Amino acid sequence: MECLSDVGFSGATVGVVAKRAGVSRGAAQHHFRTREDLLTAALLHMSENRLAELRRRAADLPDGAARTGAVVEMLIDAYTGPEFSAALQLWAAAANDPRLRSQVIPLEEHVGREAHRAAVDLLGADETAPGVREAVQATLDLARGLGLASLLTDDEPRRRRVVGQWTRMLEETLR
């Protein structure tokens, strides 16, 4: 995923990825028939690791309203950095490549469901309550949007205000 983040989809060939991974191109192609197979498998692996890390960190979360704020920050952090940048490269390439899109869409649906499930668990949310499911999804959408914005600019004061306001609104919905 680091390679995809650094050089983009067009530069992340099987040969380039194999070289960075310290394996031969043949070894990489033995396991992954195409570049698309390699990159989508890497994205799935990275996403599963990020979700597992979120769940591991759950034990250290505070209780009450402080927990909501901590979870929102954790989710936003999950959508920043080189892993998210790599995912964006893959999404952008899939927008114009029907074959890649056919692989990325089911992957993103799976990752989206798992991220939603993790957010519900971390927040201790009751999705049977009116508006809670939508508020959890809006939290993930906000995290993704802030992650996208952070690729271009670093407006930390604005981000803090937005996250603070959203956390208060989410806490109200979760009560």
For the chain, the straight-line distance linking the first and the last C-alpha, in angstroms and rounded, comes to 39
Burial 38-50 (b: 16+ CB within 10 A, else e): bbbebbeebbeeb
**pLDDT > 70 in the chain, percent:** 99
Residue 23 pLDDT > 90: no
Q: Domains in the chain, start-ordered, CATH in brackets?
A: 34-174 (1.10.357.10)
* pLDDT at residue 81 greater than cutoff 80: no
- List, in sequence order, every beta strand (DSSP E) within the chain: none
- pLDDT for 135 equals 98
Cβ-count burial of 60 within 10 angstroms (0-12 exposed, 13-18 middle, 19+ buried)? exposed
- Residue 175: per-residue pLDDT: 87
Dump pLDDT digits (tens) for 91-141: 888 999 999 899 999 999 998 999 999 999 999 999 999 999 999 999 999
What pLDDT does residue 174 have? 93
pLDDT at 12: 77
For 119-165, where are the E strands, in sequence order?
A: none
Q: What is the pLDDT of residue 120?
A: 96
Residues 71, 102: Cα–Cα separation, whole Å = 32
CA–CA separation, 48 and 11 (whole Å): 24
pLDDT for position 82: 78
**Tokens, residue 123:** 């927040």
The set of long-range contacts for 165-168, using a CB threshold of 8 Å and a minimum separation of 24, is 166/72, 166/139, 166/142, 167/68, 167/69, 167/72
For the cut 90, the answer to whether the pLDDT of residue 167 exceeds it is yes
Greater model confidence, 12 or 163: 163
- Residue 173, C-beta contacts closer than 8 angstroms, at least 6 positions apart: 131, 132, 135
Say whether pLDDT at 72 is over 90.
yes
Q: What pLDDT is recorded for position 164?
A: 94
C-alpha of 50 from chain center: 8
